[in-house]
Amino acid sequence: MAIELTVNGRTVAVEVDAATPLLDVLRNHLDLKGSRYGCGLEQCGSCMVLIDGKAVYSCAREIGSVSGGSVTTIEGLGTPDAPHLLQRAFLEEQAGQCGYCLSGIIISAKALLDRNPRPSRTEIVEALDRNLCRCGTHTRIIAAVQKAAAMGAPA
* Main-chain dihedrals φ then ψ at residue 143, nearest 5 degrees: -60, -40
Annotation: CATH topology of 2-74: Ubiquitin-like (UB roll) (3.10.20)
What percentage of residues in the chain have a pLDDT greater than 70? 98
Residues of the chain with CATH 1.10.150.120: 85-151
**Domain 85-151 class, CATH top level:** mainly alpha
Task: Please give the Cα distance from 88 to 34 (Å, whole number).
Answer: 16
pTM for this prediction: 0.94
Confidence (pLDDT) at 3: 96
Judging by beta carbons within 10 Å of its beta carbon (0-12, 13-18, 19+), is residue 112 exposed, middle or buried? Answer: buried
Is pLDDT at 103 greater than 80 in this prediction?
yes
